[in-house]
């Protein structure tokens, strides 16, 4: 299996622009998670999906952030408009079931976003 | 609530030194416990896990024992290598994952 695939690996954009991050989970995994990692705040769970349905989006920082999962093999995280404080590494992770005792998450390599 | 507390870093060790990274947890139920490792520029990788009290997880020379009585899951390795330099995250799993803040380890030759 190719693992969790994220694109792009790096994104540099200007403040005010729309940014779309993409994720392809592992085939057969029915839970998908978006995390943000910064030096100041560490790893933050933004949102997670189960069977393509958003279950908990309480970590989404504000209305500028939105996430979708139109099918089992694809998810997007969109920031519109982007701001410099959104600069971070964004990780996608997937697991075969809702987080439970036997399974860990498989993480993608992340997208490093820089907003200038 | 549920949370994980890790020892503050950064940790710097000489090659072949003994490593301990402390992790304690608070949980409302009976969690599974995990250690993840993040190498520079990469995502988190599962290092080891334990699903019930007294279980020992091990991988690549690393070990951690699920201690319910002390609510701990300390990571240990007997002899670290330069290639072990990374950030290590302790985590617990109940209805969702709860990660610690990470401990940076640098191993010098």
Residue B83, helix vs strand vs coil = helix
Does residue A99 surpass a pLDDT of 70?
A: no
Query: Interior CA angle at A80 toward A98 and A29, to 5°?
Result: 20
Cβ partners under 8 Å of residue A71, min gap 6 = A52
Q: What is the pLDDT of residue B102?
A: 94
Q: How far does the CA of residue B95 sit from the closest CA of chain A (Å)?
A: 6
Write out the two tokens for B86.
């990374």
Q: What is the pLDDT of residue A77?
A: 98
User: Is the Cβ–Cβ distance between A110 and A8 less than 8 Å?
Assistant: no
A5-7 β-sheet, strand order: A5-7, A19-24, A74-79, A65-71
Q: What is the pLDDT of residue A82?
A: 97
- How confident is residue A2, by pLDDT bands cut at 50, 70 and 90? confident
Q: What is the pLDDT of residue A97?
A: 72
Considering CB atoms only, which of A98, A103, A109 is closest to B42? Answer: A109
Closest-approach residue (CA) in chain B for A4: B43
pLDDT tens by residue, A45-80: 999 999 999 999 999 988 999 999 999 999 999 999
Q: Which of A12, A9, A19, A33 is nearest to A106 (CA)?
A: A33
- Residue A86 has φ and ψ, to the nearest 5°, of -85, -10
Interface contact B66, partner A, CB < 8 A: no
Q: Is A14 exposed, middle or buried (0-12, 13-18, 19+ CB in 10 A)?
A: exposed
Does residue A92 surpass a pLDDT of 60?
A: yes
Residue B51 to residue A109, Cβ atoms within 8 A? no
User: Is the Cβ–Cβ distance between B25 and B3 less than 8 Å?
Assistant: yes
- How confident is residue B59, by pLDDT bands cut at 50, 70 and 90? very high
Residue B46 to residue A104, Cβ atoms within 8 A? yes
Which residues in chain A are closer than 8 Å to B89, comparing Cβ atoms?
43
Q: How far apart are the first and last CA of chain B?
A: 41
Q: How far does the CA of residue A63 sit from the closest CA of chain B (Å)?
A: 23
- How confident is residue B91, by pLDDT bands cut at 50, 70 and 90? very high
Q: Which of B58, B62, B100, B107 is nearest to B84 (CA)?
A: B107
Residue B44 to residue A107, Cβ atoms within 8 A? yes
Which residues in chain B are closer than 8 Å to A106, comparing Cβ atoms?
46
Q: What is the pLDDT of residue B96?
A: 80
Q: What is the pLDDT of residue A102?
A: 66
- The residue among A3, A100, A101, A108 with the most chain B CBs within 10 A of its CB, best to mutate, is A101
Q: What is the pLDDT of residue A100?
A: 58
Task: State the average pLDDT over residues A19-30.
Answer: 95
Interface contact B5, partner A, CB < 8 A: no
Write out the two tokens for A47.
């949102």
Residue B5, helix vs strand vs coil = strand
Write out the two tokens for B51.
């699903």
| Longest pairwise C-alpha distance within chain A | 42
- How confident is residue B30, by pLDDT bands cut at 50, 70 and 90? confident
Q: What is the pLDDT of residue A39?
A: 87
Interface contact A34, partner B, CB < 8 A: no
- The residue among B31, B44, B49, B90 with the most chain A CBs within 10 A of its CB, best to mutate, is B44
Does residue A17 surpass a pLDDT of 90?
A: yes
């Amino acid at each position: 299996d190719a693992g969790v695939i994220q694109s792009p690996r790096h994104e540099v954009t200007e403040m005010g622009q729309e940014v779309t991050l993409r994720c392809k989970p592992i085939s057969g995994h029915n839970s998908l998670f978006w995390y943000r990692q910064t030096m100041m705040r560490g790893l933050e769970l933004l949102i997670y999906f189960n069977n393509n349905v958003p279950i908990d989006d309480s970590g989404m920082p504000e209305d500028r952030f939105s996430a979708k999962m139109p099918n089992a093999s694809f998810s997007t995280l969109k920031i519109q408009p982007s701001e410099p404080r959104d600069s971070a590494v964004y990780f996608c992770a997937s697991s075969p079931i809702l987080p439970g005792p036997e399974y860990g998450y498989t993480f993608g390599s992340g997208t490093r976003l820089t907003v200038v | 609530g549920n949370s994980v507390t890790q020892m503050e870093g950064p940790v710097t060790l000489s090659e072949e030194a003994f490593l301990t990274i402390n992790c304690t947890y608070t949980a409302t139920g009976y969690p599974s416990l995990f250690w993840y490792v993040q190498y520079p520029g990469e995502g988190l990788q599962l290092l080891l896990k334990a699903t019930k009290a007294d279980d020992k997880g091990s991988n690549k020379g690393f070990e951690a024992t699920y201690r319910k009585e002390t609510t701990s899951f300390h990571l240990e390795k007997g002899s670290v290598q330069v290639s072990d330099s990374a950030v290590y995250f302790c985590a617990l799993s109940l209805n969702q994952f709860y990660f610690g803040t990470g401990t940076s380890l640098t191993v010098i030759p």
